[in-house]
Amino acid sequence: MSQFKKNNTRYIRYMLLLAASLWVLWPISIMIEEGFRVDIGPLFSGRGASFIGEFFQGQGGIRFSTIEYVKALRIEAYPRLLINSVIIAGSSVLVAALAGVPAAFTLALYNFRGKPFITYSLLALRTISPFAVLLPFFLIYGRLGLFDTYRGMAIVYLIINLPVLTLMMRGFFKDIPKEIYEAAFISGASNSYVLRRVALPLALPGLAAAAVFAFVGTWNEFFYALFLTGTVTKTVSRGVWSGFSESIESFKILEFDELNAGGTLAIIPAVILALAVQKYLARGLTLGAAK
């Protein structure tokens, strides 16, 4: 009896797990599937029943086709958007790492007067409403000619990358046992030597995880891209929404098949990268609260 009950609860658990997976995967699978569709209905519109060869075609209908993917990658500017996103996210993460890692080292090891201020402003920068900084950027970029340039976009994305890298790296530096630092300092090493030769090599997996995490965040970011990119630097997440072509898209009709194909192409790298740093996801998203 007890064995039966145990088996029963296991089945129920597996059913629930499968149901939860369905909740996660179903919308994604629909998107992928709809990207592979083409509606040939318009070919037959107004003609009633049609025949191609000897086969009854009804009112046209929906066919399997890879045309949307081919179109996105071969005809439209989708590869360009991928390159744009990689350039912008990569350079922004690089700058954030160069500035943030030494600061994270200092925040992790020392107590000094301005420390709460720095932590607070980093936390606030992470959670700030984009509109609070957006309009000054919009006005200044218009004046300086940084609007729709790689440099400008890399600077804007520091708003999200700098806090993520600094606060995550602070946690990783803190994870290194104090004795290691003490031993290094007692033997007369300077701060920069300890950072380069002791702390960084030990925290290297953490740095890679933080960089990948920030990269995915920038890749997925939509808001700043919507306002500050134009035809030159349009990123993937913006292109998915407003069309991948390089021309001005305001008069473009929203095509659902294209949207779904673009969405599928956009999430593939993000999902792969995020699964690679899965262990650190909670840590990155809560800025170090969940270890």
Partner 1 sequence: MKTPYGFLIPTLFLIFLVGIGPVLQSFLLSLSEFSLLNPSMSPVGFHNYIALLTDSIFWNAIQVTLFLVIGSVLLELIVGIFLALLITNSGSRSRRVFSSIFVIPIAIAPIVTGILWSPNSVFDDLNTLLYYGLSLGAYIDTSIPSTYYSLIMISDAYIWAPLFMLVTVAIIHSIPKELYEAADVMGASAWTKFQKITFPAIISSPIIVVTLLLRTADAFRMFEVPYAWSFWLGQDSILGSPVDTVSVLMWKMFSSTLYDFPIAQITAMAIVLLIITLATCSLVLRRYSNVLE
CB of 235 to partner 1, least distance (A): 10
Taking the least distance from each CB to partner 1, the nearer of 47 and 145 is 145
Instruction: For the segment 186-225, give every residue that binds partner 1 (CB under 8 A).
Output: 191-192, 195, 216, 219-223
Taking the least distance from each CB to partner 1, the nearer of 51 and 208 is 208
Among 7, 13, 63, 183, binds partner 1 (CB under 8 A): 13
SS3 60: coil
The Cβ of residue 109 has, within 10 Å, a number of other Cβ atoms equal to 18
CB of 175 to partner 1, least distance (A): 11
Among 7, 27, 52, 205, binds partner 1 (CB under 8 A): 27
What phi and psi values does residue 230 have, to the nearest 5 degrees? -120, -140
Instruction: For the segment 139-158, give every residue that binds partner 1 (CB under 8 A).
Output: 139, 155-156, 158
Which pair of tokens denotes residue 161?
A: 């990358």
Instruction: For the segment 230-289, give every residue that binds partner 1 (CB under 8 A).
Output: 236-237, 240-241, 256, 259-260, 263, 266-267, 270-271, 273-275, 278, 281-282, 285-289
What phi and psi values does residue 231 have, to the nearest 5 degrees? -75, -20
Distance CA 75, CA 93 (A): 30
CB of 195 to partner 1, least distance (A): 8
Q: How many residues bind partner 1 (CB under 8 A)?
A: 93
CB of 127 to partner 1, least distance (A): 4
CA distances (Å), origin 240, targets 130, 141, 143, 256: 20, 24, 29, 11
Instruction: For the segment 34-73, give every residue that binds partner 1 (CB under 8 A).
Output: 34
Among 68, 80, 81, 137, binds partner 1 (CB under 8 A): 137
Taking the least distance from each CB to partner 1, the nearer of 50 and 103 is 103
CA distances (Å), origin 212, targets 22, 60, 150, 215, 217: 27, 45, 20, 5, 9
CA distances (Å), origin 71, targets 38, 227, 251: 12, 26, 19
Taking the least distance from each CB to partner 1, the nearer of 156 and 210 is 156
Draw the binding track, 96-135, toward partner 1 (x: CB under 8 A; -: no contact). Answer: x-xxx-xx-xx---x-x-x-x-xxxxxxxx-xxxxxxxxx
CB of 6 to partner 1, least distance (A): 11
**Options 14-22, 45-53, 68-76, 145-153: segment touching partner 1 (CB under 8 A):** 14-22
Taking the least distance from each CB to partner 1, the nearer of 25 and 83 is 25
Distance CA 106, CA 184 (A): 15
- Identify which of 125, 147, 128 has the alpha carbon closest to the alpha carbon of residue 137: 147
- Identify which of 32, 147, 157 has the alpha carbon closest to the alpha carbon of residue 86: 157
Q: What share of the chain is helix, strand, coil (3-state, %, to 5)?
A: 75, 5, 25
The amino acid at residue 24 is V
Taking the least distance from each CB to partner 1, the nearer of 52 and 123 is 123
